[in-house]
Amino acid sequence: MTRLGAVAAALASAAALTVALSPAASAAAPLRDLAAARGRYFGNAMTAGDFNDSAYRALSAREAGVVTPGNEMKWDATEPSRGGFTFTRGDQVVAGAVAANQKVRGHTLVWHSQTPAWVQSLSATDLRTAMVNHINTVMGHYKGKLFAWDVVNEAFAEDGTRRQSFWQQKLGDGYIAEAFRAARAADPTVKLYYNDYNTDGIGAKSDGVYNMVKAFKQQGVPIDGVGFQAHLIVGQVPSTTRQNLQRFADLGVDVAITELDIRMKTPADSAKLAQQARDYAEVTNACLAVTRCVGITTWGLSDNHSWIPGVFPGEGAALPFDTNLQPKPAYQAMSTAFGGPGTTTTTTTTTTTTTTTTTTTGTPPTGCTATYRITGQWQGGFQAEVRVSAGAAPISRWAVDWTFTDGQSVSSSWNAVLTTQGASVTARNTSYNGTLPAGAGTTFGFVGTSNGPNATPSPTCTAA
Ligand code: 9MR
């Protein structure tokens, strides 16, 4: 194997490592791995802007195996003027997710909100044409890049009748089925979801959706899943959530919790946080109890990346991490429900190593170097910074490996995507700091735990 081949192989194997043990702030495995071990996913909504908050981005990379774009695939973002399609921000979310080995849920194609005025003012015939064209173009662009799409969002009123949106008023009852048929034709490989809120428990609204899905199944309208947003209030998780998910699953569709947050009156206190933890556990357990519940997505991940305070004044603290990106009791509760410490479920993970041999002639790249520096130390923990420097040639990605010798572990990191296996740690570049000109450097950091000695490891750096 040539030198470049060796580098490629090292990077490939680093990329293929399954996180076995983890960076989690709790010292448990990240939720994405715990959920995967239960055949589910854990995800969170991210906006393109969220990727600029590097610590938050690192938190999502560590915890979430799925990303839902918060706004970037909605109609106002993708087709602001008729036929004027723009995918820049949606593509940024996809690229960011791919860089952290995260899958993407598409959200959303046909909705009454965040849809430009030009759409709303079309005549019925034109509106139908525009809807199908939008579905074709947006789904065509993202074909092969997403695993699911929310085709139609929030089309029901609280009493279980159709919401009197411009879609409903101009196109009538048939528009939802038309949207699903167009979606299947546009991309037969992606899962097609209907998505709504206040449908989490059994009630008039979820009955309305249920009857529609049942009719779709009988009529052969292509629908694969139903998303339950689960924008909930502390202490008010509907007691029929599990039964509700199950009755939909029994119709022959997948179900998913798609936008979970559980808000409270702020400020939070320990009693509210404890109730919220029980609520998060209840939702997680409801999903785990239903075989066809494929996963849970939270709408944001930390309390400073949440839509709640802006829309419900005086409320917030709705997510599993606080505004300092520290795990809340809700996080521990989800972790435990998914099988983390505190339960007896055994988590097994597999490690796959792919070896790529690249034969090349000419000047081999001069790779990179890494220096590891402890920048702070306290009882039980420490902070470290690793500097990655390109050699005499530019690089486009890097991986830094080291082994802890004193039982240290990583709790949280930034500016790199870390995976750990026992005492071995691999830190890979993020989407935004892999490319380094010749001689240039970048740093990433982490907070770790240590008890007693904390020897400075000797990292090795590989680059391509
Ligand atoms: O998180 C989204 C927020 O940034 C937007 O301002 C808002 C506008 O409606 O939409 C938010 O996301 C919504 C999602 O797309 C559908 N379900 C409700 C979510 C919260 O409003």
Dig out the tokens for 117 from the structure.
């005025």
Is the domain of 406 the same as that of 321? no
Which of 69, 73, 70 has its CA nearest to residue 104? 69
C-beta 113 within 6 A of ligand 1: yes
Res 430: pLDDT? 84
Is the domain of 187 the same as that of 63? yes
pLDDT in tens, the chain (464 residues): 333 333 333 333 333 323 323 333 334 789 999 999 999 999 999 999 999 999 999 999 999 999 999 999 999 999 999 999 999 999 999 999 999 999 999 999 999 999 999 999 999 999 999 999 999 999 999 999 999 999 999 999 999 999 999 999 999 999 999 999 999 999 999 999 999 999 999 999 999 999 999 999 999 999 999 999 999 999 999 999 999 999 999 999 999 999 999 999 999 999 999 999 999 999 999 999 999 999 999 999 999 999 999 999 999 999 999 999 999 999 999 999 999 875 433 333 333 334 333 333 334 346 999 999 986 676 677 778 899 999 888 999 999 999 999 999 998 887 788 888 889 999 999 877 899 988 889 888 887 888 889 999 999 999 98
Is the domain of 137 the same as that of 97? yes
C-beta 114 within 6 A of ligand 1: yes
The protein residue with its alpha carbon nearest to ligand 1, atom 3, reads 307
CATH of the domain at 48: 3.20.20.80
Res 80: pLDDT? 98
Kindly state whether residue 426 falls inside one of the protein's structural domains. Answer: yes
Is the domain of 224 the same as that of 372? no
Q: Cα(223) to centroid of ligand 1, in Å?
A: 23
Kindly state whether residue 2 falls inside one of the protein's structural domains. Answer: no
Is the domain of 319 the same as that of 409? no
Rounded to 10 degrees, the C-alpha dihedral 44/263/114/48 comes to -30
CATH of the domain at 453: 2.60.40.290
Which of 53, 6, 102 has its CA nearest to residue 415? 53
Contact 398, 368 (CB under 8 A): yes
Kindly state whether residue 316 falls inside one of the protein's structural domains. Answer: yes
Res 34: pLDDT? 95
Is the domain of 145 the same as that of 276? yes
- Which alpha helices (DSSP H) does 354-441 contain, by range? none
DSSP 8-state assignment for residue 320: S
Kindly state whether residue 12 falls inside one of the protein's structural domains. Answer: no
Kindly state whether residue 433 falls inside one of the protein's structural domains. Answer: yes
Give the number of domains in the chain: 2
C-beta 69 within 6 A of ligand 1: no
Kindly state whether residue 454 falls inside one of the protein's structural domains. Answer: yes
At 383 the three-state DSSP class reads strand
Is the domain of 327 the same as that of 379? no
Choice from 68, 112, 307 to test ligand 1 binding pocket (greatest atom count within 8 A of CB): 307
Kindly state whether residue 6 falls inside one of the protein's structural domains. Answer: no
Is the domain of 299 the same as that of 412? no
Query: What is the reported pTM?
Result: 0.73
C-beta 71 within 6 A of ligand 1: yes
Q: Cα(70) to centroid of ligand 1, in Å?
A: 7
Is the domain of 145 the same as that of 265? yes
Res 422: pLDDT? 86
Q: Which residues are catalytic?
A: 259
Is the domain of 41 the same as that of 87? yes
- Which alpha helices (DSSP H) does 20-87 contain, by range? 31-37, 54-63, 75-78
Q: Cα(27) to centroid of ligand 1, in Å?
A: 32
User: How many angstroms separate the Cα of 148 from the Cα of each of 85, 255, 290, 360?
Assistant: 20, 12, 19, 39
The domain of 289 spans: 31-338
Kindly state whether residue 113 falls inside one of the protein's structural domains. Answer: yes
Q: Cα(48) to centroid of ligand 1, in Å?
A: 14
Q: At 311, which amino acid appears?
A: V
At 52 the three-state DSSP class reads helix
Is the domain of 334 the same as that of 373? no
Res 366: pLDDT? 66
Is the domain of 378 the same as that of 329? no
For residue 311, give the ligand 1 atom closest to its CA.
21
